[in-house]
Amino acid sequence: MSSTSLRPCGDFRTTYKADQSLFPTKWIFRWSVIGLIVLLCSPLLVDEYIISLLILVGIYGIAALGLNVLVGMTGQISLGHSAFFGFGAFSSAWLNTTTEIPVLITIPLAGLMTTAVGLIFGIPAARIKGLYLAIATLASQFILEDFFARAEWFTGGSSGSVAETAMFFGIPLDTDIRFFYLVLFWTVVSCIAVANLKRSRDGRALVAVRDHYLSAEIMGINLTKYRILAFGISSFFAGLGGALFGHYLGYVSAEGFTIILSIQFLAMIIIGGLGSVPGALMGAVFIVLLPEVMEALVSLVISSAPIFSGLEAGKAYIKEMSIGAAIILFLIFEPDGLAHRCGQIRKSIKLYPFSY
């Protein structure tokens, strides 16, 4: 049924090929292409500030995609994702300064280095799961944070390390607009990679481990292998995102990769939708925009009702609180996330006057 242009209301696919296609309808493909073209032209359309937000969305989106492979697809909870994100940032800067490999190549190499670390910290996952694993990853977050502060040869210790500007055949990617294209490239590559992983044999094995690990094991899936593999894949994307982040800021310091960032990554995939590729990106957009929206909202309240001018001092706190509140409200009222809600809206538009 890959030829249909509209999705029927129901699951009427008859072949495995149709079930596993990357773009279930022609229109989803067309919309993706249109979206990509709009993004490619966006430096012409919007100002520099929005471009910088888009870069952040892309970087966080890549890391959130990785976390989604671990949490959404494999069902393992990681509270240490920002430590891997930070490890990627440090290792790209370190590789670049010690071996003088160009930055464009150190970025994926940093991803691979982070994969190795992720595989090591994933070893406990072979024995424990669920809550115990969450606590183990919490410990790995603190251990890696401590490592960042201590390993001066690698991270520059408390003073941090400098990440060189990326060069693209002699063109320095030093402005936001130039760097935006690099981030866009890696975001698209990551999205396609994760979407393809979901359709592959390994991806189905990961989902089987999540849904019922005993049945999965009985069906011949090597639990240990896939649990650790999920950690490896997720830390690859974390390292990739982190490396981009480091070269974007030009400076990497250990203070940026605390547990708060790990929680924000988890918030992204929960708000966006567990196990969904567009969901991870939507979640990243949500978490990046939330502080901006709160800022605008507070200014609006103050300008319309000067009685509340006391809110001005608490702006920073309101922004932090809004993240916590967003997590709680989403879990109570929309546990399936934005991606699910989008599907609902699409359905109700399609079926409009006769929804039953």
Does 270 engage in binding with another protein (CB under 8 A)?
yes
Burial 93-130, CB ≥16 within 10 A → b, else e: bbbbeeeeeebeebbbbbbebbbebbbebbebbeeebe
Whichever of 31 and 317 has its CB closer to another protein, that residue is 317
- Smallest gap from residue 252 Cβ to another protein (A): 20
- Measured distance CA(283)–CA(91) in Å, rounded: 26
Does 302 engage in binding with another protein (CB under 8 A)?
no
Residue 162, Cβ neighbours under 10 Å: how many?
A: 13
Does 138 engage in binding with another protein (CB under 8 A)?
yes
Does 69 engage in binding with another protein (CB under 8 A)?
no
- Smallest gap from residue 216 Cβ to another protein (A): 12
252 φ, ψ (degrees, to nearest 5): -120, 125
- Name which of 214, 265, 276 is nearest 238 in CA terms: 265
Burial classification of residue 333, based on how many CB atoms lie within 10 Å of its CB (0-12 exposed, 13-18 middle, 19 or more buried) = exposed
Whichever of 116 and 259 has its CB closer to another protein, that residue is 259
Q: DSSP 3-state assignment of 213?
A: helix
Does 132 engage in binding with another protein (CB under 8 A)?
yes
Residue 32, Cβ neighbours under 10 Å: how many?
A: 15
- What are the beta bridge partners of residue 301? none
Whichever of 171 and 332 has its CB closer to another protein, that residue is 332
Does 332 engage in binding with another protein (CB under 8 A)?
yes
Whichever of 53 and 263 has its CB closer to another protein, that residue is 263
Among 19, 48, 146, 211, binds another protein (CB under 8 A): 146
Among 314, 345, 346, 355, binds another protein (CB under 8 A): 314
- Measured distance CA(238)–CA(62) in Å, rounded: 7
Q: Within 222-251, which residues bind another protein (CB under 8 A)?
A: none
Among 320, 346, 347, 348, binds another protein (CB under 8 A): 320
Span of 14-22, 128-136, 229-237, 279-287 interacting with another protein by CB under 8 A: 128-136
- Measured distance CA(158)–CA(95) in Å, rounded: 19
Span of 42-50, 92-100, 238-246, 263-271 interacting with another protein by CB under 8 A: 263-271
Q: What is the helix (H) or strand (E) element at residue 168, kind and residue range?
A: strand 167-168
The site map against another protein for 22-41 (x = CB under 8 A) is: --------------------
Strand 251-252, strand 161-162: pairing: antiparallel
Asked if 254 and 151 touch (Cβ cutoff 8 Å), the reply is no
Provide the binding-site residues for another protein, judged by CB under 8 A: 71, 75, 77, 124, 127-128, 130-132, 134-136, 138-140, 142-143, 146, 149-150, 214, 260, 263, 266-267, 270, 274, 314, 317-318, 320-321, 323-328, 331-332, 335
